[in-house]
């Protein structure tokens, strides 16, 4: 199986309080995007495409290996992944879509996703159980129902796909439609999405507190 990774790295760093794209924010001295690329390669991706803000292409080129393919992102995540998918080489029969904001995802998670795709699953996502009580609320914030957490999961990345399946799902996605992730794109096309075990270390970095926790995680690993 020839797998190519796409890293979605075109987002801003506003919620993180950064004055640069989030993917270029350093974690333990290295930009988040560099961690994400390394994880995909260590987990089995043969090559990597990184979708970047057009105005920051030079900055990304300066911190990534020369063989990483850089692609200009769009105004939305859906548009950016569509651009990245168009740049995947013709030899690829599997695609991984990963968020640069999940820099500490263990390569084992990548490998589990790829193993499932290689075993015949057309769409695979890593997930974690929901451990907190989860409720639905109305427009005023009042609780309307308690949701059965046994059936709920937190979805992570990388999400893995049979390449033809993901291509077809994006072709069929109506113009202007914006979905939260690529599993939603293929699910909308009627494709079953299978799950594998995720990892707490694959937490998404969104705000400054998340980055501080990631820094502490790296420091603790280095002390071992």
pTM of the model: 0.93
Contact between 30 and 40 under an 8 Å Cβ cutoff? The reply is: no
CA angle 220, 213, 199 (to 5 degrees): 80
Instruction: Report helix, strand or coil for 88.
Output: coil
pLDDT tens per residue, range 7-22: 999 877 677 777 788 9
92: left (phi over 0), alpha (psi -120 to 50) or beta: beta
Question: For 59, phi and psi rounded to 5 degrees?
Answer: -65, -40
Question: For 11, phi and psi rounded to 5 degrees?
Answer: -75, 160
CA distances from 169 to 85, 99, 159, 160, 186 (A): 11, 19, 14, 13, 5
Identify the DSSP state of 174: P
Instruction: Report helix, strand or coil for 5.
Output: strand
The CATH number for 81's domain is 3.90.550.10
Average pLDDT, whole number, for the chain?
A: 93
**Which contiguous run of DSSP H or E holds residue 9?**
none
CA dihedral 133, 138, 140, 142 (to 10 degrees): -40
- Determine the structural domain holding residue 49 and report its residue range: 3-223
Number of H helices, E strands in the chain: 7, 12
Contact between 23 and 11 under an 8 Å Cβ cutoff? The reply is: yes
Q: Taking residues 129-156, what's their average pLDDT?
A: 94
* Overall number of domains in the chain: 1
Confidence of residue 224 (pLDDT cuts 50, 70, 90): low
Confidence of residue 174 (pLDDT cuts 50, 70, 90): confident
Q: What is the CA radius of gyration of the chain?
A: 17
- Report cis status (omega within 30 of 0) of the bond before 44: no
pLDDT tens per residue, range 81-132: 999 999 999 999 999 999 999 999 999 999 999 999 999 999 999 999 999 9
CA distances from 156 to 1, 3, 9, 195 (A): 22, 18, 16, 10
């Amino acid at each position: 199986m020839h797998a190519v990774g796409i890293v979605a790295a075109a987002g801003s760093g506003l919620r993180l309080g950064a004055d640069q794209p989030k993917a270029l924010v350093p974690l333990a001295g290295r930009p988040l995007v560099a961690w994400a690329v390394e994880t995909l390669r260590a987990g089995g991706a043969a090559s990597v495409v990184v979708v970047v803000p057009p105005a920051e292409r030079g900055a990304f080129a300066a911190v990534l290996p020369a063989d990483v393919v850089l692609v200009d992102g769009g105004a939305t995540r859906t548009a950016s992944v569509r651009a990245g998918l168009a740049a995947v080489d013709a030899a690829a029969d599997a695609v991984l879509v990963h968020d640069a904001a999940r820099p500490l995802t263990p390569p084992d998670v990548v490998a589990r996703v790829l193993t499932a795709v290689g075993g015949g699953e057309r769409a695979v996502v890593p997930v974690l159980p929901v451990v907190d009580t989860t409720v639905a609320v109305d427009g005023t914030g009042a609780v309307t129902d308690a949701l059965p957490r046994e059936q709920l999961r937190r979805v992570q990345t990388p999400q893995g796909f049979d390449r033809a399946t993901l291509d077809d799902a994006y072709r069929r996605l109506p113009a202007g439609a914006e979905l939260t992730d690529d599993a939603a794109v293929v699910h909308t096309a009627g494709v079953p999405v299978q799950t594998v075990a995720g990892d707490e270390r694959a937490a998404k970095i969104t705000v400054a507190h998340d980055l501080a926790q990631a820094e502490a995680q790296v420091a603790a690993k280095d002390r071992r």
